[in-house]
Chains A and B, each alone.
Chain A
Amino acid sequence: MDAELLTQITDARDRALKATTARNRIERLVDPGSFVEYGVLAGESSDPDDDAPADGLVAGVGQVHGHPVTVASYDTTVRDGTQTDRNMRKLVRLLYLANRHRWPFVVFVDGDGARPGHPWVVPPIVVYNRGRFDVYEGLAELSGWAPTIAVISGRTLDGNAGLALLCDCVIATAGSTIGSRGPAGPDGEATIHTRPVEALAADGSVDLIVDDEIHAIDTVADYLAYWGDGFGTDEPSPAHDLIADIVPDDRRHPYDVRRVIEALADAGTVLELGERWAPSMVTALATLGGRPIGMMANQPLSPVAGAIDSPAADKAARFVELCDAYELPIVSLVDNPGYMVGPDAERGGIARHHARPLAALHHRTVPLCSVQLRKAYGLGPFAMSGWGASRLMPELRLAWPSVESGGMSLEGAAFLVKRKEIRAAGSPEEARAIRDTYAKEMRDPASGVSAGRTFSFDDVILPGETRDRIIALLGAIPRVFPAAKKHPIDPR
């Protein structure tokens, strides 16, 4: 072959390889030697001397811990990481492969939206045939079929932000921003409006905030491990030895439920999602006996003492859908006073939001093991373990000896009985003392045994027995990926 032809290609490729930001990220994520790049020569123009390496987006297929993954990265050193029809078609190519083979999709999205002079990029109000599979559709189709992960590390505008917010998991580096150009003003210039990723994390639109890009990439690899086979360890955590000491002796004292999660999970395998929003509901991925699972838990340490408010209900519902889609058994840790009540909660729509986790649990098919650590009142137990009758029941419903349940809390019941005395009390402290004294009198000291006697639970066990019990039951239920996607994962 004419040597000139070969040189043309290698020269063009050398120029394309100058999108080093993007390449360095991908190199760190994928297993060495596994990356197959798509469209390395695709430039902004068809000019042989095109000076936009890879058109600002490096894309391809690689492996992470030996599992296939599609991965793409914008490169802000090339045309500010902007989107063009051509680089979007690279993404479409990857999304086709991801949907076809059930491969995860990872995208580093920082960039400035549509490239100036390249309108019609996103969203395409362009009528096309179904055969043309565009980026947002590809992401929506992949949702619930294979993980979709976005990394935000820098300013992310418009269409780039849209990519991120259609992904199941958004990992952002501290100090990054998400925003929009907004409509052009009278002078034809658009004002750029951004918000810090920390603010979006507090609203549930960003799942994880990490220190820097290296941590972000390592977190992507960790997240993918739950989709895969875990971390190759089934060792209990050292914290397991102290599991019986976590729930305080005083039934009204708070504790950090993260300690229970840490104690139950395999050592070093817990990845909390959504730490910055809905603090009364903790959601985390982990492995248990080597098996990837999802854990959701009420947080007694939160300002509302573990009550389920609208954000907590939304967070739980979304997490159940995520676990259901990825065939992750759910371990639910229950300690809540019920759904949140009061004028603020009602204004926040709790009467409608409360149904979301119940509906999500009702329609799931993954195994569910619930452990009632302490209390659950009103509709509280159902929010965490479903109603359990018509469609599915929880696979295993356990309780610890500190269990207490009922239509309303002991304090609430005590208030109703002693209402007159409490209202006549001289001070709020006195009123509370009357209520709490009566509540204490009413507390059934053998609540744990009676919960077992009435078969309200499958068993009431010692905290130290919990881990092995759940591992044993899950061992009987293999992870099976169905032939078709069950449902998308609702972004909110």
Chain B
Amino acid sequence: MDPRLIEELAAVKAAQLDEARPGVVAAVHQAGRLTARERVGELLDPGTEVEYGSIAAIDRAAPEGTRGWVAEAGGVDYIGTVDGQTVITSSTDFTDRGGGYGAGRLERLFALAQEHRWPLVLFVDGGGSRARHPRVGLGHLELNGPFGRYQLFDGVAELSGWVPTVAVVSGPSFAGHASLAGFSDFVIATGGSSIGMGGPPMVEAALGLALSASELAGVEMHEMTGGIDLLVDDEHQAIAAARRYLSYWQDEPAGPAAAGAERIAELVTDRAGADGPYDMVPVLEALVDEGSLFGLRPQFARSVITAFARIDGRSVGILASQPGVDDGAIDEQAATKAARFVELCDAYELPIVAVIDTPGCITRFTGDDGTPQSQPGINRWHTRAVMAHHHRTVPLFAVQVGRGGGLGPAVLGGMTGGRSTPVLWAAWPSTDIGSGDGFAAVRNQHAYDDVIAPAETRQRISRLLARLPRQLDRPAKKHPIDTW
């Protein structure tokens, strides 16, 4: 072959690298950010990266001022591994025309993810598809595309419930970028970034409001309202969180009990006593493997806790009351948080451990005087969780710790005769379900499989889990994961 062809290719490829643009890289670092490639480098195990469309990606070889429309500009896409497991990752490059995504490359990788069941990690900061000349933009969208080829968004819809999909947002993320995040199972955001359907210019055009990205759709707001799953400080933490989320996709052969696990009973205080409501988090930490509790949506609808964890190495989902917030009452948002989590665990074959101490369900609304009100009651947000539980097929372990009023236990643990029989419904001696204590409930009604001491719980669940292998070999996905 003519060696000039090789040299030319090498030169084009070299021009894509961070080394070829020290000024841009310095500016990115100055802003406390990582470049698109640095993020991928930090996510993937070294030496496993395979780039797709490397020179389709970025038109940096073109002389300044002549860079025209390049369909696939704006990011880099890779297949690699994270802790040995293959993942697909796409990282938008916000220094390149605002980080418009390379739809063609992604659609191609989505097909591979679907075929091989590879998880997906998307770094999605940017403003959607790039604005073109307005007159060009008025064209009708090409709705009748070729069949069988994933389009960007139906690709994410298809992957939902089949492979874990993680979005990392570390800057302004609007329109199409926000849509990709919205479709993902797990959205990690760094402080100060924003996620919204329409960016500041569109909001100014449509509503006449001049707002910064953060004022409009800051992730600090989303953290409280459920729009994201985890808020972290910076991209390093975000990448660590993505790696951690993916780690639960695999089981470990064993895991250590938490320090102080034997004192778990002391963490549940007597409600009638002077101590008031207790915090469920330490109880959960004492139940699962040391340091393995990983909270999802921790600041949203806090009266219900959703978390991944391990018990003797086995990945599980934890769905628990938080008596320390609203006395553990389940409002609409807490109910939908529970429902979505059940779907998530069911899709990825994570057994669910439900830890229950709730007075029941409450409903929130605006009173006639315009003030926020709440009172006992249910609506369809609550039954949504019951419906999700009925249709799950992953093993369920329910532990009744205290109260179980109204529909509350069904929101957290489902009913006991659904499609999948719960593996264990156990009660702690502190159980208080109105008519008699836990002992009476078992003796008189066979309400529970057993009343067990708190310190016995971990071993009881672990022994049963050992008999229930994770069923990740299903030929097709069970269902998508509802984005809300």
Contact with A along B423-467 (1 / 0, CB 8 A): 001000000011100000100011111000000000000000000
Q: Which of A165, A346, A362, A407 has the most CB of B within 10 A?
A: A346
Size of the chain A interface, CB-CB below 8 angstroms: 108
Interface residues of B in 182-209 (CB under 8 A from A): 182-183, 195-198, 201-209
Q: Is the CB of A136 within 8 A of B386?
A: yes
Residues of B within 8 A of A409 (CB): 206
CA distance A204 to B380 in the complex (A): 8
Taking a contact as CB atoms under 8 Å apart, the answer to whether A378 and B383 are in contact is: no
Interface size, chain B (Cβ < 8 Å):
104
What residues on A are CB-neighbors of B209 within 8 Å? Answer: 342-343
Q: Confirm or deny: B483 has a beta carbon within 8 angstroms of a beta carbon on chain A.
A: yes
Q: In the complex, which of the residues B178, B208, B215, B415 contacts A137, with contact meaning CB atoms closer than 8 Å?
A: B415
Q: Are B377 and A442 in contact (CB under 8 A)?
A: no
Residues of B within 8 A of A455 (CB): 144
| A193 touching B376 in the complex, CB below 8 Å, given contacts A389-B150, A492-B384 | yes
- 13 residue pairs bridging A and B, Cβ less than 8 Å apart: A134-B417, A143-B387, A183-B360, A343-B203, A349-B226, A351-B227, A389-B148, A406-B138, A407-B137, A416-B131, A416-B205, A454-B139, A454-B140
List chain B residues, Cβ under 8 A from A390: 148-151, 154-155, 158
User: What residues of chain A lie closer than 8 Å to B129, measured between beta carbons?
Assistant: 407
A183-B360, A406-B141 known; A359 vs B226 contact (CB < 8 Å): no
| A490 and B215 in contact, given A136-B410, A143-B387, A341-B197 (Cβ under 8 angstroms) | no
In the bound complex, residues from chain B placing their C-beta under 8 Å from that of A404 are 138
Q: Which of A179-199 contact B (CB under 8 A)?
A: 179-184, 193-195, 199
Asked if A352 and B483 make an inter-chain contact with CB atoms under 8 angstroms apart, the answer reads yes
Instruction: Give the interface of B toward A (CB within 8 A).
Output: 129, 131-132, 134-135, 137-151, 153-155, 157-158, 160, 175-176, 178-179, 181-183, 195-198, 201-209, 211, 215-217, 221-222, 225-227, 336, 359-361, 363, 365, 375-384, 386-387, 390-391, 400, 404-407, 409-410, 415-419, 421-422, 425, 433-435, 441, 445-449, 479-480, 482-484
Contact A492 B381 (CB under 8 A): yes
Q: Which of B144, B154, B216, B222 gathers most chain A CB within 10 Å?
A: B154
**Residue numbers in B under 8 Å from A382 (CB-CB):** 153
Assess the B143–A179 pair: CB atoms within 8 A: no
Residue with the greatest number of chain B CB neighbours at <10 A, chosen from A338, A339, A405, A407: A407
Evaluate contact between A415 and B204: CB separation under 8 angstroms: yes
Q: Which residue of A lies closest to B426 (CB)?
A: A127
Provided the pairs A195-B365, A352-B484, A353-B483 are in contact, do residues A119 and B197 lie with their beta carbons within 8 angstroms? no
Is A356 engaged at the interface, CB distance under 8 Å to the other chain?
yes
Cα A253 to Cα B127 with chains together (Å): 30
Least CB separation from A385: chain B residue = B143
CA distance A181 to B151 in the complex (A): 50
Please give the distance in Å from B444's CB to the nearest CB on chain A. Answer: 9
Contact A387 B154 (CB under 8 A): yes
Nearest Cβ on chain B to A16's Cβ, whole angstroms: 29
In the assembly, what is the distance between CA of A442 and CA of B421, in Å?
A: 62
Please, how many angstroms separate the alpha-carbon atoms of A491 and B146 in the complex?
34
In the complex the two chains form, what is the Cα distance from A180 to B374 in whole Å? 12
* Complex contact B154–A165 (CB within 8 A): no
User: Is A354 an interface residue when CB atoms closer than 8 A count as contact?
Assistant: yes
Q: Would you call B197 and A345 a contact (CB within 8 A)?
A: yes
| B380 with A491: CB separation less than 8 A | yes
Measured in the bound complex, the distance between the Cα atoms of B221 and A485 in whole Å is 39
What are the nearest 5 A-B pairs in CB distance?
Answer: A341-B198, A182-B376, A415-B205, A140-B390, A387-B154
**Cβ contacts under 8 Å, B178 to chain A:** 351
Within 8 Å by CB of B157, from A178, A362, A397, lies A362
Chain B residues with Cβ below 8 Å from A181 are 376
Given the contacts A140-B390, A166-B383, A180-B376, A354 and B182 also touching, CB distance less than 8 Å? yes
Our pick among A120, A178, A350, A391 for the contact of B158 (Cβ within 8 Å) is: A391
Interface residues of A in 310-355 (CB under 8 A from B): 314, 337-343, 345-355
Contact A165 B417 (CB under 8 A): no
> Nearest Cβ distance between residue A229 and chain B, in whole angstroms?
29
Cβ contacts under 8 Å, A378 to chain B = 175, 198
Smallest distance from the beta carbon of A134 to chain B beta carbons, Å? Answer: 5
Q: Pick from B182, B391, B416, B425: contact of A351, CB below 8 A.
A: B182
C-alpha gap A442/B375 in the complex (Å): 53
- Please determine whether B202 and A355 come into contact, CB atoms closer than 8 angstroms: no
- Chain A contacts of B387 at CB under 8 A? 140, 143, 166, 488, 490-491
